[in-house]
């Protein structure tokens, strides 16, 4: 094997798309998916590739030092792409410590294991996948650049910012070769239905209220998940070590407009009367400390690595709605928690 890459969080939303892309595109790499299967990890996401010769799965918590060492030894890991994290802002508000544990302590544990395992640090790469939320919140104008000072506002973004700092500290202090990318909001197949887009699709289908926080005028910059995975592939292979790359689709939407668009698409696909699903929109209490606007300037990755989104939002959102409608079993399993019971029986 030319490389043996540890991808953490590979059973989650973005991680599963990254694992699939690498397994299929690089038969000469071994891809080791390391994931402890929290509520957000679902091996269903990878059913189509689980039998591939160059794929292995390890049910391990990134905080477990001994098991991590074992995986590095057993698979002779050459590189890391680190996605495992607690990822939902609302959960970070109710349980910030869980975010410190996984996102900060888990990342440091992983950095430490990699640094100690690799004899010649020059030949290995630690790629940390992060978020644009570390830059804080924007008003009406301007974009997040790679040089924008960190100003995280939520427990989630603070924990991701801390992990980014530790990655840079390991590069500076120990000479670990690292690269970081900070991406805007992702959408697409396999996203857990606690996040805005899949939550709305699920609730519209079930005729349940669509909770819009505050006035619905907060702005997010949306990118199709496969385009993020393609960018990660490029950064991993062509990115300059020590650098940061912002990833985003120049695709800003007010939350309320996204929700209305989803209602429109779902009315059409479900054969409902025009405007029927919009009746479900319910304005609710705002999220505490709700960031107003995120917007990525993705000029650097475009100019230096030639990346740009392959899909328009119009195409991506139709594909996403179609996927959720065609994969009702996935959505039912995730919302009922049945898949978690299965893992408890088979992987404990
Ligand atoms: P997700 O919540 O869907 O998946 C996270 C995965 O990590 C799950 O499979 C979970 O089981 C695993 N995991 C959690 N804690 C773990 C631990 N202690 N040990 C091992 N595995 C653990 O998240 P996602 O949306 O796919 O995000 C993946 C990464 O990308 C995260 O680092 C996130 O911060 C970053 N990111 C996400 C977005 C987005 O819009 N979702 C945008 C930019 C960056
Ligand atoms: P989310 O998908 O949780 O991503 P993030 O908070 O990381 O940006 O939320 C996207 C936006 O949608 C955010 O401004 C909060 C808002 N939102 C709602 O209005 N209602 C909801 O039920 C959820 C989950 C989010």
Query: CATH code at 240?
Result: 3.40.50.720
pTM over 0.85: yes
Output the pLDDT for position 178.
Answer: 98
**For every residue of 115-143, which 3-state class applies, written as one string?**
HHHCCCHHHCEEEEEEEHHHHCCCCCCCC
Q: Give the β-pairing of 125-131 and 79-82.
A: parallel
- Domain membership of residue 62 (yes or no) is yes
List, for residues 146-190, the tens digit of each pLDDT value: 999 999 999 999 999 999 999 999 999 999 999 999 999 999 999
Q: Answer yes or no: 65 catalytic.
A: no
- Domain membership of residue 83 (yes or no) is yes
Output the pLDDT for position 4.
Answer: 98
Output the pLDDT for position 332.
Answer: 86
Rounded to whole angstroms, the Cα distance separating 143 from 77 reads 37
List, for residues 9-52, the tens digit of each pLDDT value: 999 999 999 999 999 999 999 999 999 999 999 999 999 999 99
List, for residues 48-88, the tens digit of each pLDDT value: 999 999 999 999 999 999 999 999 999 999 999 999 999 99
How far apart are the CA of 274 and the centre of ligand 2, in A?
A: 25
Which numbered atom of ligand 2 lies nearest the CA of 131? 7
Rounded to whole angstroms, the Cα distance separating 94 from 90 reads 7
- Domain membership of residue 33 (yes or no) is yes
Output the pLDDT for position 266.
Answer: 98
Pocket test for ligand 2, best of 195, 288, 317 (most atoms within 8 A of CB): 195
Specify the residue with its C-alpha closest to ligand 1, atom 29.
83
- Domain membership of residue 146 (yes or no) is yes
Query: With contact defined as beta carbons under 8 Å apart, do 246 and 298 qualify?
Result: yes
Q: Answer yes or no: 328 catalytic.
A: no
Closest CA relative to residue 46, chosen from 38, 59, 58, 55: 55
- Domain membership of residue 218 (yes or no) is no
**Number of separate domains in the chain:** 1
Q: Answer yes or no: 133 catalytic.
A: yes
| 215 phi/psi in degrees, rounded to 5 | -95, -5
Parent domain of 301: 3-191+223-252+290-311
List, for residues 280-319, the tens digit of each pLDDT value: 999 999 999 999 999 999 999 999 999 999 999 999 999 9
- Domain membership of residue 14 (yes or no) is yes
**pLDDT bucket at 133, cuts 50 / 70 / 90:** very high
Q: In this prediction, what percent of the chain has a pLDDT beyond 90?
A: 94
Residue 253 predicted with pLDDT over 80 = yes
Which numbered atom of ligand 2 lies nearest the CA of 287? 15
Output the pLDDT for position 348.
Answer: 63
Q: At what angle do helices 225-238 and 13-25 cross, to 10 degrees?
A: 60
- Domain membership of residue 302 (yes or no) is yes
Output the pLDDT for position 337.
Answer: 77
| 245 phi/psi in degrees, rounded to 5 | -125, 125
**What integer best gives the mean pLDDT of the chain?**
96
- Domain membership of residue 139 (yes or no) is yes
């Amino acid at each position: 094997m030319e490389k043996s890459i540890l991808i953490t969080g590979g059973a989650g939303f973005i991680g599963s798309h990254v694992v699939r892309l690498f397994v299929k595109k690089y038969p000469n790499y071994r891809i080791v998916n390391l994931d402890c299967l929290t509520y957000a990890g679902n091996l269903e996401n990878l059913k189509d590739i689980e039998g591939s010769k160059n794929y292995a799965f390890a049910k391990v918590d990134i905080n477990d030092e001994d098991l991590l060492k074992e995986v590095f030894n057993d698979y002779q890991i050459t590189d890391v792409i680190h996605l495992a994290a607690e990822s939902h802002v609302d959960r970070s508000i109710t349980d910030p410590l869980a975010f410190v544990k996984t996102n900060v302590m888990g990342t440091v544990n992983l950095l430490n294991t990699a640094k100690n395992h690799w004899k010649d640090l020059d030949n290995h790469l630690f790629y940390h996948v992060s978020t644009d939320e570390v830059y804080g919140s924007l008003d009406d104008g301007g974009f997040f650049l790679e040089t924008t000072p960190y100003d995280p506002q939520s427990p989630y973004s603070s924990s991701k910012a801390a992990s980014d700092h530790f990655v840079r500290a390991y590069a500076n202090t120990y000479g670990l070769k690292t690269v970081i990318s900070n991406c805007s909001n992702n959408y697409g197949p396999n996203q857990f239905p606690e996040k805005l887009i899949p939550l709305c699709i699920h609730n519209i289908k079930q005729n349940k209220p669509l909770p819009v926080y505050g006035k619905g005028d907060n702005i997010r910059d949306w990118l199709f998940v496969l385009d993020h995975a393609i960018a990660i592939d490029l950064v991993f292979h062509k990115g300059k070590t020590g650098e940061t790359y912002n990833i985003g689709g120049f695709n800003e939407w007010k939350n309320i407009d996204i929700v209305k668009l989803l209602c429109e698409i779902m009315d059409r696909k479900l054969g409902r009367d025009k405007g029927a699903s919009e009746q479900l929109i319910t304005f609710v209490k705002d999220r505490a400390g709700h960031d107003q606007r995120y917007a990525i300037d993705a000029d650097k990755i475009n100019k230096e690595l030639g990346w740009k989104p392959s899909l328009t939002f119009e195409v991506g959102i139709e594909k996403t709605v179609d996927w959720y409608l065609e994969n009702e079993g996935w959505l039912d399993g995730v919302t009922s928690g049945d898949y978690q019971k299965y893992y408890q029986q088979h992987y404990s």
